[in-house]
Amino acid sequence: MTSQLNPAWQRRAVSSDHLAKISARFLSDGPRPEQTTDGCQVIPFLLDHPDQHWIASELCEVLTQRGQRSLLCELQENSDGASLEDVEGALLRQEADKRFCLLPASSPATIQACRFDHVVLLVPASLDAALLAYQRIKLLSQQAAPDIGIVMVGPRDQHAAWRYFRKLAVGTLRFLDIPLLNLGFLPQEVMPEHNPADHHRQNYLTRISERLLRSEFYCRCRPGTTTQARLAR
Partner 1 sequence: MKLRIKSAPHCNREELRTLLIDAADELAGGNSCLLEAKLPWDGHPILLADAEGHPVLVSFDLADSQAALVSGLHATDQLAVALPWVNQVYAPLQQRQKAPRLVVVSSEPPPGSEAVLRTGSGAGLTMFSCRVLSVNGDMGILLEPLDGAPAARAAVTTLAHATQPPVPEVTPPASRAAESVPSLSDEERAYFQQL
Q: How far is the CB of 69 from partner 1 (least distance, A)?
A: 32
Per CB under 8 A, 167 contacts partner 1: yes
Residue 110 CA to residue 77 CA, distance in Å, equals 8
| Contact string 119-138 vs partner 1 (x = CB under 8 A) | --------xx-xxx-xxx-x
Burial grade of 16 (CB within 10 A; 0-12, 13-18, 19 or more): exposed
Q: How far is the CB of 13 from partner 1 (least distance, A)?
A: 14
Residue 155 vs 223, nearer CB to partner 1: 155
Asked if 173 touches partner 1 (CB under 8 A), the answer is no
Q: Which positions ≥6 away from 98 have C-beta within 8 Å? A: 39, 40, 69, 70, 71
Tell which positions 54-93 bind partner 1, by CB under 8 A: 79
CB of 139 to partner 1, least distance (A): 6
Query: Binding to partner 1 by residue 110, rule CB under 8 A?
Result: no
Residues within window 2-21 making contact with partner 1, judged by CB under 8 A: 8
Q: Give yes or no for residue 24 binding partner 1 (CB under 8 A).
A: no
Contact call for residue 223 and partner 1 (CB under 8 A): no
Q: By CB under 8 A, how many residues form the interface with partner 1?
A: 24
Q: Is 53 in the site for partner 1 (CB under 8 A)?
A: no
Answer yes or no whether residue 204 interacts with partner 1 by CB under 8 A. no
Chain positions contacting partner 1, by CB under 8 A = 8, 49, 79, 106-109, 127-128, 130-132, 134-136, 138-139, 142, 163-164, 167, 171, 174-175
